[in-house]
Structures are given as C-alpha cells and as structure tokens.
C-alpha cells in the first residue's frame, strides 16, 4: 500500500508554462482523500515553493532545496542538512571562473535568502526567476565569501548546459568532495542548467528516505514522480517510481515506469493508475 506520494514540481506537477493543471490538482486531492500523504520534493527554495503549495488545498510536506530542508507550509523546519560555511568558502575559491553564475542560499525567514555578487539577472533564463523572487534576493556589498556569516543551505550555480556539466565534473573531482553533494538539473532545449551544492549525503532521495523512516514507513510504501536528473535518487529510493513523458532522455533510459507529459495530465494518469484504481472496491 502506498502511503506517501513524492512529487517534483517543475516539469511534473506544473505544465510546460509553469501552471498547475486542474487535472493534476484534482488527482492530488483525490489521493489525499484516499489516505495518501503528499510531499512536494523540489530543487526550489521554500519561498519559491510556497505559492505552488498554496494552490493545493491539502496538507503538504515540503522537501526543498534538493533535500536540504524539510518544511511545513507555514515555514517551520522539520529537518535540515546545511552546508558547512568553511566548505562553502573553499568551493567559492575553487570556482572563481563561475563568479558571474553563483549565489549563496540561506535558510532565512524573509530578505537576503539568496545572496549574489556578480550574477547577471538580465539573462533571459534568469530574468523570470528574479522578477518572482527579487524580494528575497540581495546583492553582496563585499566578496561573496564574506557573506558566509552562517552555514548556508547551498551554493547555487546556473548557466549553459555544457558549462554546468564541466562545473559538475570539476566539483566532483575536487579534494574533499565527500563533504558536499552536487545536484544538476538540465533543460537542454533551453540550454540552461542549475547546479546546487548541498551538504554531505544530501539529495532528494536521501532526505525522502529519512522522512519516510520518521513516519514509520518503508520505501515500498512510497511512490515518486519526477522528470529530471536531480530526481534520480528520489526515484531510485521509491518503491514505485514514475517519470513524466517530458523527462530528459538520460532519466528515461534508467527504466522507470513512464506516464504522459506534464501537458497531457501525466501526473494525474500516474496517480489514477497506481493509487486511485487500487483503492477502488
């Protein structure tokens, strides 16, 4: 019996225009009515996840920042896996070539959650994010490393696909790479990628496993739905793993169960198949 449904947001819960399809909302509501708990498991930070959570009229657990934080919808923190500030400083020093593509993310209640030094927010792939989140974004008045007055949630990079793949390879080969975890999310048609550097052993999958254990459940009681590379650990953990029809080819090749695209109601179809039909008399 599936007790927990873990859902990625972008490319999974939302359609290709960033909207919540009615069919997806209704299927999630029906799953909750059938006794299933819902976790939104996303690379987004809490403040960027909250507006989506507010569209779903059901209780939710929010696993944000690629597993670094587990929060209630009111912002209360249930679990946390931060990156040591000393490690973050070393990472910034080792990635000076990416100074115009990096920011530090903190677990703070309001402003200055995302701090940058040289990020060009006029870039077409960054402009929309900035407009939606500018209340939480602050420019560093000094070198970014000096802003590390507390342990951050993550160091966040973004840029072209090829550039970010090179960065991931470099980060994973640095001495002491066991002190952090690297997650990449790719949007190849847009030539845009996100790279998050979190604390050690921190991913969507490891945090979902911890949350599942805290609830007294097993992986066989978990269903996960996703579409991108940062979902792989979550999908590998879940007893029932489903990928969207719009998923990247690298994810599809891993052999998970396949549903329709996010514009075809693929999430709703997966919920009906694996949850609602099984609960019917």
- For residues 28-36, give the mean pLDDT: 97
- For residues 93-106, give the mean pLDDT: 94
Token pair listed for 59: 């209780």
Tokens 């670094």, residue located: 68
What are 77's strand-pairing partners?
71
Q: What is the pLDDT of residue 280?
A: 42
With cut-offs at 50, 70 and 90, classify the pLDDT of residue 38. very high
With cut-offs at 50, 70 and 90, classify the pLDDT of residue 278. low
Over the stretch 228-264, which tens digit does the pLDDT of each residue have? 999 999 999 999 999 999 999 999 999 999 999 999 9
CATH topology of domain 4-80+202-279: Rossmann fold (3.40.50)
Among residues 243, 180, 239, which one has the least CA distance to residue 209? 239
Q: What is the pLDDT of residue 122?
A: 83
- Give the CA angle between residues 39, 65, 152 to the nearest 5°: 140
The mean of the pLDDT values for the chain is 94
Q: What is the pLDDT of residue 58?
A: 98
Over the stretch 53-88, which tens digit does the pLDDT of each residue have? 999 999 999 999 999 999 999 999 999 999 999 999
Over the stretch 100-158, which tens digit does the pLDDT of each residue have? 999 999 998 777 889 999 888 888 878 877 887 788 888 999 999 999 999 999 999 99
Q: What is the pLDDT of residue 108?
A: 85
pTM recorded for the entire structure:
0.93
| Parts of the chain belonging to CATH 3.30.1240.10 | 85-198
Pairing of strands 61-64, 69-71: antiparallel
Over the stretch 5-25, which tens digit does the pLDDT of each residue have? 999 999 999 999 999 999 999
Q: Could you tell me which CATH class the domain 85-198 is placed in?
A: alpha beta
What are 137's strand-pairing partners?
114
């Amino acid at each position: 019996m599936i007790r927990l449904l873990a859902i990625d947001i972008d490319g999974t819960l939302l359609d290709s225009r960033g909207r919540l399809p009615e069919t997806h909302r209704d299927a999630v509501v029906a799953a909750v009515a059938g006794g299933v708990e819902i976790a939104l498991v996303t690379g987004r930070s809490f403040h960027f996840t909250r507006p989506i959570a507010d569209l779903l009229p059901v209780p939710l657990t929010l696993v944000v920042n690629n597993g670094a934080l587990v929060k209630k919808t009111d912002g209360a923190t249930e679990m946390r896996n931060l990156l040591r500030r000393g490690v973050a400083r070393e990472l910034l020093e080792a990635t000076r070539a990416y100074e115009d593509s990096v920011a530090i993310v903190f677990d703070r209640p309001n402003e200055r959650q995302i701090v940058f030094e040289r990020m060009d927010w006029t870039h077409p792939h960054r402009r929309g994010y900035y407009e939606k989140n500018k209340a939480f974004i602050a420019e560093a008045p000094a070198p970014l490393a000096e802003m590390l007055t507390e342990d951050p949630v993550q160091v966040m990079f973004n840029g072209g696909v090829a550039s970010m793949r090179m960065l991931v390879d470099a980060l994973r080969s640095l001495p002491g790479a066991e002190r952090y975890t690297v997650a990449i999310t790719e949007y190849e048609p847009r030539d845009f990628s996100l790279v998050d550097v979190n604390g050690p052993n921190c991913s969507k999958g490891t945090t979902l496993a911890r949350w599942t254990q805290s609830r007294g459940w097993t992986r066989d009681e978990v269903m996960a739905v996703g579409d991108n590379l940062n979902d792989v650990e979550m999908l590998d953990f879940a007893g029932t793993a489903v990928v969207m029809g719009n998923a990247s080819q690298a994810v599809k090749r891993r052999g998970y169960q396949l549903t329709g695209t996010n514009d075809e109601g693929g999430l709703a179809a997966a919920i009906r198949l694996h949850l609602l039909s099984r609960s019917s008399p």
